[in-house]
Chain A
Amino acid sequence: MSDLLRLLIAPLVWLAAFSAVYGLQGFGCATELNDVIFAGVPLMRAGLILVWVLTIATLVGILVWLERSSPILEWTSRISRITAWVAIVASVWALFPVTFASICS
C-alpha cells in the first residue's frame, strides 16, 4: 500500500494546494483582505504568491525524497517520480495567475 501512496502523494499535495489557493482567493475577496496594503505590498497577492512558492518547494522536497527513499518495487519509484513532476508542472502552470491576474474583479 505504501508504494501506491507514493504514486499519489505529490498529486494529492497539488490538489490540496490548488484548492487552498482558490479558497484563499475567495476568502480574501469576501473579507476585503484584497484592499490591505502592508509596507507597500498588497497583502493578499503576497500571501497567494507565498502559498504558490511553498507548494512548489514542498513538491520539490517530495521529489527529492522519492529519489532517495527505496520502495518495495523499483517500478513504483519510477512512476512516482513522474507523478511528482506532473504535480510540479501543474502547480507552476495552473497557479501562476497569482502573479498577474486581478484578484477580485
Chain B
Amino acid sequence: MNALKRHRLLTQIWASDPGWKRCFTTVSHTDLGRMFLAAAFFFFAVGGVLAMLIRAQLASPHAAFMGPDIYNQVFTMHGTMMMFLFAIPAFEGLAVYLLPKMLGARDLAFPRLTAYGFWCYAFGGSMMLISMLVGLAPDGGWFMYPPLTGAAASPGINTDVWLLGVTFVEISAICAAVELCVSILKFRAPGMSLDKMPIFAWYALVTALMILTGFPPLILGSILLELERAFGLPFFDTALGGDSLLWQHLFWLFGHPEVYIIFLPAAGLISTIIPVMSRTPLLAYGWVVASIVALAFLSFGLWVHHMFATGIPHMGVAFFSAASTLVAVPTAVQVFAWIGTMWQGRPQLHMPMLYILGFFATFVIGGLTGVMLAIVPFDWQAHDTAFVTAHLHYVLFGGFVFPVLAGLYYYAPLVTGRRRFFRIGEYAFALVFIGFHGTFLAMHWVGLLGQRRRIYTYDADMGWGVINLISSVGSFVLAIGLAMVLLDLALNAYVAIRGKRNPWRAGTLEWSMMLPPSTYNFPSLPRVTSREPLIETPDLPTRLARGVGYLAVPRDNRREMLTVSTTRAEPESLVIYPGNTALPMCMAAVTGSFFLSLLFKVYWFTPFAVIGVIALAWRWVWGLGSRTDEADQNIGFGETVPHATQTNRSQGWWGSAFLMIADATLFGSLIFGYAFLWTIAPNWPPPQWLAFTLWEPLIGVAAAGLAFFAARQSPGCIRQETCKTEGTTRRWFPWRLSPQLALVGLSTLAVIFVNLLWRAPSPTEHAYGAVLCVISAYGLFHVLLAILMLVFFIFRIRHGFISTRRRAEVEIVRLWIDYAVLIGLVSLMLILSPVLFT
C-alpha cells in the first residue's frame, strides 16, 4: 500500500462528521483539545473583563462604579473562572491535544470520555456564566468560607450555583485525569519506556494523579455544604456539632495542591520549549522527573499554611511552615535545570522564549514572596491583605499564563500549519510584561500598607489612592497586551502563509506529523528508541508514511491503536476505538439536568435525571466489545497481540482503577471530616448515639464475604478452559450462579445500609447524625453501583459478549465488586465501631 492510499483510507476511518454535526459528535482528541482550549480562553477573556471591573472600582477612593453586592459577585466570579474554568481546562485542552501526538498514539485511551468531560465543562461553565448575567452569581469569594456561605448568611441560590456548578465542572477534571493517566501509561508508541517519555508526559501524568487526589476533598466539601444549605445537615454549624474550620481543611486540601496542579503543566511546557530553543537536550532529565514527583507530594503537606491565622496550635503551624519552605527546593531544581539547559545550549530569542524569560522574572518573585508567607510571623501580618493577592497572581500568572502563552506560540505552527508572519506579538509581550508588573508590584506595596483584599472601597486618607491608580492603569495595559496576543495568534492562524514540517527542528514525535496534523496522527506507529526520535531518525516522517511502523495497514474500517506495557512499552493488545457519536454530549446534558434539578430544588425530577444517566451509561458500554472470539492480530514487524477485550487488564480496568483512586480519596476525606468533627468540633458528644445491634455487622460481613468469593468464581472458571469444553451445564453453571450469589450478597449489604439510614439519629439535629447519614449513603451508593454492574454483566453473558477469551469485562466487574465490598465493610466499621466505645 502506498503512502497516499494509506492516508486516504486512514482519513476516511478517523474523520469526524462533516459540517455542523462535527462539534457535537466528534470524539477526536485533536478536535476536543482545540474545543477545550477555545472554551478555556473564552472564560479567560470573561475573567479578564471581570478583573478590569475590579480594578476600575478600586482605582480611586470612594468609587461608585459598583455597589458591594455586584462587586462581591464580580471578584468571586473572577477567581472562580480563572481557577476552575480557565486554568484547569486549559491544561486539559493542552494535554488532550498534545499527548497522543507526543506519545506516538492515534488518540487517547477513552475518546468518548474526553468528549463527555468537555461537555460537562462547557455546560457547567455556561451555567455559572448565565448565573452572572442574571445577577445570581456566587458572591462568597472563590473559597466560599462558611458560615458566610451558610444558608443563614447567604440565602438565595448564588452559593448553590458555585457549589453545584464547580462540582459539575470538576467531573470534567476527573474524567480528564483518568484519561490522561491511562493514556500516558498504556497508550504510548512501542519502545517508549518510562525513561524515554517526553518530559511533558511526566508533568501531565503527575498532574493527573494530583487531580485524582486533590479534587475529591473539594467535591466532598461542596456536597456537604450543599447538603447543609438544602437539607439542614449541620456539618459546618458549630451550634449543632459542626465546625466551619472543617470547610477550610477540605478546601485547602484541594486548594494548595491546586496551585501545583496549575503550575506543573506550565513547567512541562517550559521543560519542553527551552531545550528546543537552546538546541540541546534538557539538562538533568532524571532529576527533573524526581523533582516533579517530590513537588507533587510535598504540595499535599502545605494546606494548613492557608490557615495560620485560625488559632491552630504552634506545633501544627510549625509542621506546615517547615513543609512550605521545603517545597521551594524541588521547584528550584527545575529552575536550575532550565537555566543549566540554556547555559549548555545556544538559546534563540524566538517568541516563545520571550514569554519564558517573562516567566523566570515573574515566577521567581512569586516563589520568594511565597517563602515569605510560609514564615508564620510574616503571614500573620500580611494575612488577608492585597499582598497575598499579589503573591497569588505572581505565582499563577507568572507560573501559568506566561508559560502557556509561550506554549501557544510554540505550538501554533503545529495547530494551524502556518508560519508566523505578523509581528504584533513582540509588542504584545512588552505590554503584558510591563502591565502585569505594574499591576501587581503596586498591589504588594498597598498590601504591606494594610489594604485588605476584597474590600470594595477605601477612604482617601488611607494613602492608598495613588498606588491603586498605578495598579489599575497597569491592569489595563496588561489587558491591551493580552488582547493583542489573541489578535496576533488569530491573524497568524488565518492569514499567514503555510509553514513547513518541524519548524523548530524539535526532537519529539508531535513534530513528525504533517501540518496541521491529520485526523489519525500517525500513518503507522513508530518504534521509539530514544527520547528525541526525530533527532535520532530525521527521516522518521517519511518512514512512517511509507508504512514502516506498527498498524500500517488499515483493517475492517476500524480505528485501531495499541496498548503497551507500563514500563518498557512493549505491545500488549489491540484496541478498537468507538466511532463518532453524540452520546457524550447527551449524557453531559442529562448530567447537567441532575445538577439543575438540585439547584432549583426541583427534587421530584432528580431521580429521573439519575435514571437518564444510568440508561445512557448502559447504552454507552453496551456498544463496546464483540460477540465473537478473534485470533491474535498481526500489528507489524511480525508481532501479534490479542484484542484488548481478550486480556485481563484492558484499558477499562485501568480506567476503573484510577477512578477508584479519586473515589478512595473522597472517602478518606470523609473519614478525616468525621474524625475532625469528633475530636475538634465543639458541642460533642451528640445528644443521641446510634444503638448498636449485633446482627448488622455479622450479616454485613457475611454478605460482603459472599459477594467477594462469588465474584471470584466467574473469572476462575473463565480462565480454566475446561469450563468451555465440558458441556453446557458445566459451562453455564458457574457463570449463572456466581453473579447471582454476588447479587444476593450485595443486595443484603444494600438492605443493611438502608436500615442504617432509617434508624440513624436525625441528621438535622447534630453533625453526628449527618455524618452517619452521609457514610451510609456512600456505602449504599457503591453497593448499588456494583449491583448495577452485575446486572449489566448478566445481560452481557446472555447476549454472548463474554467468553473464556473475551474476559476483560469480567475483571472490570470483579474489580468494582471488590471495591464495593471494601467500601461497604469500612463504612459499616465507621458507623458501628465507635458506638462500642461510647
**B313: which of A2, A11, A21, A105 is its contact (CB, 8 Å)?**
A105
Q: A22-B316, A102-B315, A103-B313 are in contact. Are A82 and B297 (CB under 8 A)?
A: no
A88 to chain B, nearest CB (A): 12
Q: What residues of chain B lie closer than 8 Å to A105, measured between beta carbons? A: 313-314
B566 touches A4 (CB 8 A): yes
Taken together as a complex, chains A and B put the C-alpha atoms of A73 and B568 apart, in Å, by 8
Cβ of A38 < 8 Å from any Cβ of B? Answer: no
Cβ of B294 < 8 Å from any Cβ of A? Answer: yes
8 Å CB interface, A7-56 against B: 7-8, 11-12, 14-15, 18, 21-23, 25-27, 29-31
A21 to chain B, nearest CB (A): 7
A1 touches B194 (CB 8 A): no
List the B residue with the shortest CB-CB distance to A44. Answer: B315
B323 touches A90 (CB 8 A): yes
B323 touches A94 (CB 8 A): yes
A36 to chain B, nearest CB (A): 16
**A94: which of B193, B301, B566, B675 is its contact (CB, 8 Å)?**
B301
A18 touches B323 (CB 8 A): yes
Fill in one digit per residue for A91-105: 1 if any B CB lies within 8 Å of its CB, else 0: 001111110011111
Cβ of A58 < 8 Å from any Cβ of B? Answer: no
Report the interface size for chain B: residues with CB under 8 A from the other chain: 33
Interface centre among B304, B319, B566, B568 (most CB of A within 10 A): B319
Fill in one digit per residue for B266-308: 1 if any A CB lies within 8 Å of its CB, else 0: 0000000000000000000011011001101110110010000
B313 touches A73 (CB 8 A): no
A96 to chain B, nearest CB (A): 7
Cβ of B195 < 8 Å from any Cβ of A? Answer: yes
B322 touches A78 (CB 8 A): no
Q: What residues of chain A lie closer than 8 Å to B318, measured between beta carbons? A: 97, 101
A27 to chain B, nearest CB (A): 5
Q: A26-B680, A103-B315 are in contact. Are A94 and B290 (CB under 8 A)?
A: no
B466 to chain A, nearest CB (A): 42
Cβ of B326 < 8 Å from any Cβ of A? Answer: yes
Taken together as a complex, chains A and B put the C-alpha atoms of A1 and B680 apart, in Å, by 40
Taken together as a complex, chains A and B put the C-alpha atoms of A72 and B290 apart, in Å, by 18
B301 touches A18 (CB 8 A): yes
**A21: which of B195, B290, B304, B319 is its contact (CB, 8 Å)?**
B319
Interface centre among B287, B314, B330, B680 (most CB of A within 10 A): B314
**B567: which of A3, A102, A103 is its contact (CB, 8 Å)?**
A3
A76 touches B195 (CB 8 A): yes
A11 to chain B, nearest CB (A): 4
B297 touches A14 (CB 8 A): yes
Q: What residues of chain B lie closer than 8 Å to A57, measured between beta carbons? A: none
Fill in one digit per residue for A52-84: 1 if any B CB lies within 8 Å of its CB, else 0: 000000000000000000011101101100110
A41 to chain B, nearest CB (A): 17
List the A residue with the shortest CB-CB distance to B289. Answer: A79
A93 touches B326 (CB 8 A): yes
Taken together as a complex, chains A and B put the C-alpha atoms of A75 and B580 apart, in Å, by 40
Cβ of B310 < 8 Å from any Cβ of A? Answer: no
List the B residue with the shortest CB-CB distance to A34. Answer: B313
**B314: which of A1, A12, A90, A101 is its contact (CB, 8 Å)?**
A101
B679 touches A86 (CB 8 A): no
Taken together as a complex, chains A and B put the C-alpha atoms of A89 and B318 apart, in Å, by 16
Q: What residues of chain A lie closer than 8 Å to B322, measured between beta carbons? A: 93-97
B319 touches A79 (CB 8 A): no
Taken together as a complex, chains A and B put the C-alpha atoms of A7 and B315 apart, in Å, by 30
B195 touches A73 (CB 8 A): yes
Taken together as a complex, chains A and B put the C-alpha atoms of A57 and B287 apart, in Å, by 24
Q: What residues of chain A lie closer than 8 Å to B304, measured between beta carbons? A: 22
List the B residue with the shortest CB-CB distance to A14. Answer: B297
Q: What residues of chain A lie closer than 8 Å to B675, measured between beta carbons? A: 23, 27
Taken together as a complex, chains A and B put the C-alpha atoms of A76 and B300 apart, in Å, by 23
8 Å CB interface, B316-366 against A: 316, 318-319, 322-323, 326, 330
Fill in one digit per residue for B555-598: 1 if any A CB lies within 8 Å of its CB, else 0: 00000000000111000000000000000000000000000000
B314 touches A102 (CB 8 A): yes
List the A residue with the shortest CB-CB distance to B295. Answer: A86
- Of all A-B residue pairs in the complex, the 9 with the closest CB atoms, nearest first, are A97-B318, A30-B679, A11-B297, A75-B195, A82-B290, A101-B315, A94-B323, A86-B294, A3-B567
Give 22 pairs: A residue, B residue, CB < 8 Å, sorted on A: A4-B185, A8-B293, A12-B297, A15-B300, A18-B319, A25-B316, A27-B679, A31-B679, A73-B195, A73-B568, A75-B194, A79-B293, A82-B290, A86-B294, A90-B297, A90-B298, A90-B301, A93-B322, A97-B314, A97-B315, A103-B313, A105-B314
18 new A-B contacts, CB < 8 A, other than A27-B679, A90-B301, are A3-B194, A7-B290, A15-B297, A25-B316, A30-B680, A31-B679, A73-B568, A75-B195, A75-B286, A76-B194, A79-B289, A86-B294, A86-B298, A90-B298, A94-B301, A94-B326, A98-B315, A101-B318
The chain B residues found within 8 Å of chain A, CB to CB, are: 185, 193-195, 286-287, 289-290, 293-294, 296-298, 300-301, 304, 313-316, 318-319, 322-323, 326, 330, 566-568, 675-676, 679-680
